[in-house]
Structure 1
């Protein structure tokens, strides 16, 4: 009788801290709104079908079927789908995790998994199926499949990244940031944000600036400007309507703030990007 035994005692002794928060499946439709946004946790996207672009504040990356995108916490990003080949992707949110990439200094990275679809996609589909049916112990099963997915991804990419704990950002700052992300169109002030976070407004401003390298009010303005840019490029709303929709008290204040951040007036920005779209369509 032949007997071979392999010891696993020293193969993997790291205690996992990361936790799968959610897994979701999304597909491009007419109601798709592409706006830059952030999360306090890491995200992974796997493109199942279609093509488009993954965008950050300073970069735009083409993505297609079997692209894997890894995004660290607090990175502004969005996805833009092609109309000819609509995006279908699976997204995972992961708590207590930050990726350290060895090849560059970006806080996100894109990989081509075309040759690894058969070993990666079934793991994601199994997790989706578990969440959908919610049978006994489905959360634990999803967590285990997620760890397999994470380790297999690390193996496939040749250990091009390591796993680390997220930056130590105070919970109050994360709350205020996420509140601004979802309520930027409301009438927000430093006083109201401080009241929501139960902090002194000066202490909140100090902590927020230390965590995100910008003050809460500057972040609010940046968020409003970013969303107004998308509306200027992709809608026919008037300047006054966009000002109201993005939380500015008047169209004049909106125009002044927009020119300060974007370097041009809203009308010129819209004209520039509309002309650019026309040229692309004609070519």
Structure 2
């Protein structure tokens, strides 16, 4: 009998620094408003079908089926679809991760053609989507593990054209404030609340947080609420008023105004885009 054992003990010397925030799928429709926006986290954008353009403030590049675009934090960007063949794509949001490109044409984003590896990459993303839609026991941990596989596959396919690092060196005080917002964003939070929690002067608090994450603490709070509301609009039967309440907005009107300002569409329009029937 032959017996071969392969050691993988080196993996225990490595600890993941990144965290999957969300995975979503979308099709570019006529009602979609393309507008520049940014996030305090990294996004990975994989084109399932169609073609169009990926745009930043200074650049516009063609994208098509099997394009993979890596967008680092705080980069203003948007996508535009062609009229002939609309874009269909999957997007991942990842916290505490920045890509360091070894031969960059841009430090803010990079685009790769994964056509040759579609059958290797796409099933991973589709499995993650299936997990978040079904929400069975431990689905979040399962998605996080699939995400790690996806990252390592990317690294192998691109022959290590990039490396991973945490977003940046962040002061401990900022990490504590961010963690508090991530945990309590559904509650009533003001700048005074964060001042009391951190024991920092509100002006100093805003300064160091904005410097660390490229976004003010109050705008980061809004971003977290909008992110949660998107998932509820797609995957729940909650009314607009209920969603506003459970995501921490003071009123449905303020929620609708904030949502449109951030996404370019109303909560109702965003929900209809995903063909969810409401009572």
Is the shorter-chain TM-score for this pair beyond 0.5, marking a shared fold?
yes
CA distance in 2, matches of 1:79, 1:63: 9
Q: Tell me what 2:82 maps to.
A: 82
Secondary structure of the structure 1 residue equivalent to 2:125: helix
Q: Tell me what 2:98 maps to.
A: 98
Q: Tell me what 2:185 maps to.
A: none
Q: Tell me what 1:14 maps to.
A: 14
**Which of these two proteins has the greater Rg computed from alpha carbons?**
1
The answer to whether the Cα contact below 8 Å between 1:40 and 1:174 also exists between their aligned partners in 2 is no
Q: Deviations over 1:43-62 (max 9, x none)?
A: 10100000111111111111
Instruction: Tell which deviates more after alignment, 27-36 or 43-52.
Output: 27-36
Q: Is residue 2:145 matched to residue 1:144? A: yes
CA distance in 2, matches of 1:173, 1:83: 44
Q: Which runs of 5+ in 1 are unaligned?
A: 176-192, 217-244, 247-283
CA distance in 1, matches of 2:71, 2:193: 28
Q: Which runs of 5+ in 2 are unaligned?
A: 180-189, 218-259, 262-279
Q: Aligned in 2, Cα 1:172/1:86: closer, same or farther, shift over 3 Å? A: farther
Q: Structure 2 matches for 1:58-137, cutoff 5 A?
A: 58-104=58-104, 105-137=106-138
Q: Is residue 2:163 matched to residue 1:162? A: yes
Secondary structure of the structure 2 residue equivalent to 1:10: helix
Equivalenced residues, count? 201
Q: Aligned in 2, Cα 1:155/1:215: closer, same or farther, shift over 3 Å? A: closer
Q: CA deviation at 1:196?
A: 8.2
CA distance in 2, matches of 1:65, 1:24: 17
CA distance in 2, matches of 1:84, 1:90: 20
Secondary structure of the structure 2 residue equivalent to 1:68: strand
Q: Deviations over 1:125-172 (max 9, x none)?
A: 000001111111111111111110000000000101111011245469
When the two structures are superposed, what TM-score results if normalisation uses the length of structure 2? 0.64
Secondary structure of the structure 1 residue equivalent to 2:93: strand
Q: Aligned in 2, Cα 1:122/1:57: closer, same or farther, shift over 3 Å? A: same
Q: CA deviation at 1:17?
A: 2.0
More relative contact order in 1 or in 2 (CA 8 Å, sep 6+)?
2
Q: Deviations over 1:17-59 (max 9, x none)?
A: 2111100001011221111111111110100000111111111
Q: Tell me what 1:280 maps to.
A: none
When the two structures are superposed, what TM-score results if normalisation uses the length of structure 1? 0.63
CA distance in 2, matches of 1:8, 1:59: 42
CA distance in 1, matches of 2:11, 2:211: 39
Secondary structure of the structure 1 residue equivalent to 2:13: coil
